Chains A and B, each alone.
Chain A
Amino acid sequence: MFIELLEKLFPNLNDRNSRQEVKNRLQLVLAHDRSDLTPQMIESMRREILEVVSKYVDLDADAMDFALENSSRVTSLVANLPIIRVKKPEFYTVKGEGISEESPMDDLPEIQIDEAAIGDLQLELEAVKPTNSEVSSEVKSETVES
């Protein structure tokens, strides 16, 4: 509380640190100045890189960071793309690329199971999935349209 009081009395004592702020702003603007990349080029680079990466992993769109950085007169492109999950290889066997966000469960291929072979668990399974009579363990490679 002493500190808080002091900082109220002397706002400059509190490092609201305009020095650090100006350094950060400078570094950002210089990275752009030095690179000679137009904002349009950076944006299409960002889009295309995301497209490629998204084929393999789901990204956290809100936490993504894509920026030019600079040190010792060398500019680097630094992308921080937090991965939510890796897309399972099976995904690629599913026909039709788009999985709708609203009801992803409906889009998954139907899995058949041999009820008789399991026996005891029959009751529980019945509650989940009253299936048709045909017995098959084959995974259908089709996406059900919702």
Chain B
Amino acid sequence: MGRVIVITSGKGGVGKTTTTANIGMALAQRNRKVVVIDADFGLRNLDLLLGLENRVVYTAVDVLSGQCRLEQALVKDKRRGNLVLLPAAQNRTKDSINPAQMRQLVSALGKVFDYVLIDSPAGIEMGFQNAIAAATEAIVVTTPEISAVRDADRVIGLLEANNIKKSGLIINRIRPKMVAVNDMMSVEDVTEILAIPLIGVVPDDEKVIVSTNKGEPLVLSGTPTQAGSAFENIARRIEGEKVEFLDLTVKDGFLSKIKSFFTKPV
């Protein structure tokens, strides 16, 4: 049975789908067989981030209703054949599938794939319940903002309550310059508060938006980017490698140098 990992956050827009697409692709580049499941029924996005939107024919709902077989619904990535997408239905609501059905799908997929990554919708209602139902591990994505961290904390509690014992934390969109002037919580601050193991730190990077525009996960781009390397490192950590975290600290800027000069004890 492959590893079943849900990518979740509580709050929307913090980077769950971006993370799923990039980690899925990074694991595929390491020659793992990977299926990414879009569990955001009604608001599907994962197909867009992978650039596979034009190839979606059937969805998970069609499989469950017997319209098609599971293999027919899987969309193979055009660049990496060992990465496939199980699309969510766009014209249905989150109630069009239940946790038992999700387990049905995942247990079939887990027989074939090394990794089953489930991209969770925002919130903690039905869609979230579906997304976590079949997972044995979780990746909690947050940004260093108060509302995102609060929601992440809530989700961590719910994961624990639902017997998902193994959770890793990704802090996304960190802005080192803001941290340096004490206008943003640092990685250490957030990790200390949420108190689950850190498995990734992704800087805020405009290249993420460019990659979304192209439907091409950052980890595929030939030129290395900070966010892309961060996602590659996360994939390696998921595989059990020990990888140093990127050094995102801003070297002492001009102003803080002046200040520390004047505040030095005489």
Contacts and interface: CB of A to CB of B under 8 A. Distances in A.
Interface of A: 2-3, 6, 10, 12-13, 15, 17-20, 22-23, 25-27, 29-30, 33-34, 72-73
A3 B182 CA distance: 18
Contacts of A6: 258-259, 262
Q: Summarize A's interface: helix, strand, loop or mixed.
A: helix
6 contacts: A3-B263, A19-B184, A19-B189, A25-B146, A26-B193, A30-B150
Given A6-B258, A13-B256, A73-B195, A26 B149 contact: yes
Interface string B114-157: 00000000000000000000000000000000100110011011
A23 B193 contact: yes
A12 to B, nearest CB: 5
B151 to A, nearest CB: 10
B220 interface: no
A72 B195 contact: yes
Interface of B: 146, 149-150, 153-154, 156-157, 179, 181-186, 189, 193, 195, 255-256, 258-259, 262-263
A30 B147 CA distance: 11
Q: What are the nearest 7 A-B pairs in CB distance? A: A19-B182, A17-B182, A72-B195, A73-B195, A2-B262, A12-B181, A22-B146
Contacts of B189: 19, 23
A55 B25 CA distance: 67
Given A3-B263, A12-B181, A18-B182, A30 B255 contact: no
A23 B188 CA distance: 11
A29 B153 CA distance: 11
B185 A33 contact: no
A19 B179 contact: yes
Given A23-B193, A34-B157, A73-B195, A3 B262 contact: yes
Contact of B146 (A13, A15, A26): A26
Contacts, number: 50
Contacts of A23: 185, 189, 193
Contacts of A22: 146, 185
A10 B255 CA distance: 9
A29 B128 CA distance: 23
Contacts of B193: 23, 26-27, 30
A20 B189 CA distance: 9
A72 B263 CA distance: 34
B150 A26 contact: yes
Contacts of A13: 181, 255-256, 259
Contacts of B185: 19, 22-23, 26
A34 B150 CA distance: 10
A12 B183 contact: yes
Contact of A33 (B153, B182, B186): B153
Contacts of B259: 3, 6, 13
A19 B258 contact: no
A15 B181 CA distance: 7
B145 to A, nearest CB: 8
A22 B184 CA distance: 8
A17 B146 CA distance: 15
